Structure 1
Amino acid sequence: MKKILTLSLIAFSSVLYADFSQQEFVYKDPRVMGMGSANTAVGGYSSAVFYNPAGLINIKKSHGIEVELLGLSVAASQKMQDFANDLSDAADTENSEDISKVLQDYSGEAFNITVANYSSVSYHTEDDLAWSVGLLASGDINLLPHANSGNAGLLEAHGRAYSGLQLGVAQNFGEVLPGLPGELTIGVGAKFISQKSYDASLDVAEIDANSDDLAQYLQDTYEVDNSGFAVDLGVLYAPFPSDYWNPTIGLSVMNIGTLNFDDAYGAQPLSVNLGVSVSPKTEYADFIIAVDYVDALGSQQALVYDSQSAKYISSDISYEVLRHLRAGVSAQVLDNSWATLTLNGGLYQGAYTMGVDFQLTVLKLQAATYQEQLGGEMGQLEDRRYVVGLGIGW
């Protein structure tokens, strides 16, 4: 039974992708997550299209056409490996009570595996127009064991697999109005996303009864297909662009369109995000300090299991300021024609983040850690995650 169950879970995790947490953004760049996910007033990468398309204007002109041929990232929860090993060992005994014991031992802990790839081509022209075209393929699986097989079973599995095309363009218009200082940049993005989502509440009997092909059972029983189109709007305003601190104010309105997916798991509601940043340059490093307030209107919702309908339904999330707050610091300590090195740190949903971004000619390496708030209230269910990224580009 061990081989059958383990193979089924591997297949299950390869097609089930989700995120318990708020989903203000379609994609989470490891470089941005290490900086507390504060990017509304920053940008500078092709992934700016997922936070504020106006941020494309901060891609360096000196880089010419930027190609990210591979932008692979893998993230996992702190104890995911231990949980997978113990569950596999329990399956080896062919005793459902051993499986129940493992699920009870890990009750109240959340487990996540995420795999994503974003490949893109971007360019900042001499006319202060920046554009980006990208392809996204991403997904993850989230598992939540329970001590007792109640309404939600002994094991909740939530997931989605999704892919899509992402377009973005940003134009710097110089001074806002005659006599008014500062520079205004307006960005517009568009994306088409197709996904398969899953929500399952499993007990041991259900796992045992379908252990010969658990992945196929889950697909046949729980799979939901959706697709949608959305437009993103963004603004950057730099009141004193020549100042040492270069303060910048950002505003983005993301996911205007049909990405609600009939409230299925993985839905992307409209999100309004605000941000401020400063970017002083010193003798030792180029710094960026940023603070964001994301999903200001509180559009995000959680999915909860309704025992009467035996389905997951949308439920409001308590509006807590700290859940919406992002803050980060980035220090580029090395930047030459061969290599760049950037160190990041920040605060994300009340917990610390750290990250490093190293580029050597065409090879790009990133690592970061952050913590998701998964429950309806802060502190109810937390998941510390670690992510590594590998990129090839120029």
Structure 2
Amino acid sequence: MVSKMYAKMVFLVAAVLLLASSGWAEPYRAMNMGARPLGMGGAFTAVADDQNAIDYNPAGLSRARNFGMGILNPLVEASEDSYDLYNDFDDIDENDTAEVTELLRKYVGENHHVKLAADLYAGFRMGNAGVMVAGVARGYADMAIRNPTYPELHLTSDIDYGGQVGIGYELAMIPGLSIGVGVKALSRKSIDEVYTAVDIADDDFEDTLEDDQKDGNDASFDLGMIWSGEIEGLTRVSLGLAGINIKEMDFGDARDQETQYNAGVAFTQSFFGCTLTEAFDYHDITDNLAEDDSTEKKLHMGAELKFPMLLAIRGGLSQGYYTAGATVDFKVLRFDVATYGEEMGAYAGQKEDRRYVAQVSMGWSW
């Protein structure tokens, strides 16, 4: 029974996380994938006003008004059909090549995605500056199954762990303008391989995964700015620009993390104790993250309505697909959920991977 459960985790993601050669290999995914921003369509460059700012735009850390801390923040994210794949694998003999082949064939053409995260952070206000220190532990795996005749599992996984520090500063001489800088130092473990049913059914598949892992370490920095101003007392407009990993992170044998430049605009109104925010982002201005040049894949827009107590709801469009999310905030305990579509094709609207995110946070509000 133990070996069965362990094989299941190997086949999906957990084994990729557990087989890391270091003594501590908490999971890690990409630099900026928070539950709240995902619910808003990923449009957060000019909004950044909570702990997600350290990933999206460090200038937003200047919007901190008091002390904030996150001491327990587990996040789970999975594709729509990944749970079905997990259960189907539990029903077969994982050492039987024929059964593994049939299972892979059933899911040919689909992408399966799993992400786990468990960051810690502490932030505080100091004069005109907001400061945050964070421990990073995030990981993801994408699995694409191809070739119906002889099915193959294409596995891509990154696990990063390390630390971040960021500071956002409000410039007194230029009203409404904040600048920010963040520094991160990370260790990465990657797998980017193709496995056949014979490979997966082999008794030594766990050892194969371990052997295929590539390791590396690097550090980089982020820069950001946000300008905000009132428009005739009716709405507050914010303009944001952020450079993420301005020094491309070279993880040696592991997969590199490219530089990314994002721009955004946001509008905020307050009424009857509620706050409504509309935002629009254009990501990867310099085309560093993808081989294609689809403009539609870079467009992100969304809105958030915060009620006076407990509840916030969100919606938007990301890469042409709808997003939605909500937060229930009890101050010390917060629950976040979101769904979004990731484009797996060369252009927006070609092949959607619908994903769902859930996070429980324990700490104090930013």
Normalising by structure 2, report the TM-score. Answer: 0.90
Query: Which of the residues 246, 249, 256 maps onto 2:239?
Result: 249
Query: Which of the residues 140, 159, 162 maps onto 2:160?
Result: 162
Amino acid at match of 1:237: W
Could you say what secondary structure the match of 1:257 adopts? coil
Determine if contact 1:8/1:214 at 8 Å carries over to the other structure: no
- d(CA) in 1 for partners of 2:59 and 2:81? 38
Asked if 1:228 corresponds to 2:218, the answer is yes
Deviation of residue 40 (structure 1)? 0.4
> Which residue of structure 2 aligns with residue 117 of structure 1?
118
Asked if 1:102 corresponds to 2:100, the answer is no
Determine if contact 2:29/2:160 at 8 Å carries over to the other structure: no
- d(CA) in 1 for partners of 2:294 and 2:5? 39
Relative to structure 1, the CA distance from residue 380 to residue 201 in structure 2 (aligned partners, 3 Å threshold; closer, same or farther) is: farther
- d(CA) in 2 for partners of 1:334 and 1:239? 23
> Which residue of structure 2 aligns with residue 58 of structure 1?
63
> Which residue of structure 1 aligns with residue 298 of structure 2?
324
- d(CA) in 2 for partners of 1:120 and 1:163? 14
Determine if contact 2:264/2:281 at 8 Å carries over to the other structure: yes
Q: Deviations over 1:164-218 (max 9, x none)?
A: 2111101111353xxxxx521111111111110001211112223x3x2422221
Relative to structure 1, the CA distance from residue 146 to residue 91 in structure 2 (aligned partners, 3 Å threshold; closer, same or farther) is: farther
Normalising by structure 1, report the TM-score. Answer: 0.84
> Which residue of structure 2 aligns with residue 393 of structure 1?
363
Relative to structure 1, the CA distance from residue 118 to residue 57 in structure 2 (aligned partners, 3 Å threshold; closer, same or farther) is: same
Deviation of residue 362 (structure 1)? 0.8
Query: Which of the residues 364, 372, 375 maps onto 2:345?
Result: 375
Determine if contact 1:253/1:272 at 8 Å carries over to the other structure: yes
> Which residue of structure 2 aligns with residue 146 of structure 1?
146
> Which residue of structure 2 aligns with residue 278 of structure 1?
267
Asked if 1:288 corresponds to 2:289, the answer is no
Amino acid at match of 1:228: D
> Which residue of structure 1 aligns with residue 6 of structure 2?
7
Amino acid at match of 1:53: P
Determine if contact 1:245/1:280 at 8 Å carries over to the other structure: yes
Relative to structure 1, the CA distance from residue 197 to residue 75 in structure 2 (aligned partners, 3 Å threshold; closer, same or farther) is: same
Relative to structure 1, the CA distance from residue 290 to residue 42 in structure 2 (aligned partners, 3 Å threshold; closer, same or farther) is: same
Deviation of residue 260 (structure 1)? 3.6
Q: Which runs of 5+ in 1 are unaligned?
A: 18-22, 177-181, 302-315
> Which residue of structure 2 aligns with residue 197 of structure 1?
190
- d(CA) in 2 for partners of 1:145 and 1:110? 7
CA RMSD of aligned residues (A): 2.2
Amino acid at match of 2:141: I
Q: Deviations over 1:329-382 (max 9, x none)?
A: 0110133xxxx3111111111101100111113111101101111233334442
Asked if 1:344 corresponds to 2:314, the answer is yes
Deviation of residue 96 (structure 1)? 2.1
- d(CA) in 2 for partners of 1:378 and 1:276? 22
Could you say what secondary structure the match of 1:46 adopts? coil
Relative to structure 1, the CA distance from residue 361 to residue 379 in structure 2 (aligned partners, 3 Å threshold; closer, same or farther) is: closer
Deviation of residue 154 (structure 1)? 1.5
- d(CA) in 2 for partners of 1:350 and 1:253? 23
- d(CA) in 1 for partners of 2:118 and 2:357? 13
- d(CA) in 2 for partners of 1:353 and 1:263? 35
Deviation of residue 229 (structure 1)? 0.6
Determine if contact 1:36/1:352 at 8 Å carries over to the other structure: yes
Q: Deviations over 1:291-345 (max 9, x none)?
A: 00011111013xxxxxxxxxxxxxx2x111110011110110133xxxx311111
Could you say what secondary structure the match of 2:74 adopts? strand
Give me the identity figure in percent.
28
Asked if 1:26 corresponds to 2:31, the answer is yes
Query: Which of the residues 168, 171, 186 maps onto 2:169?
Result: 171
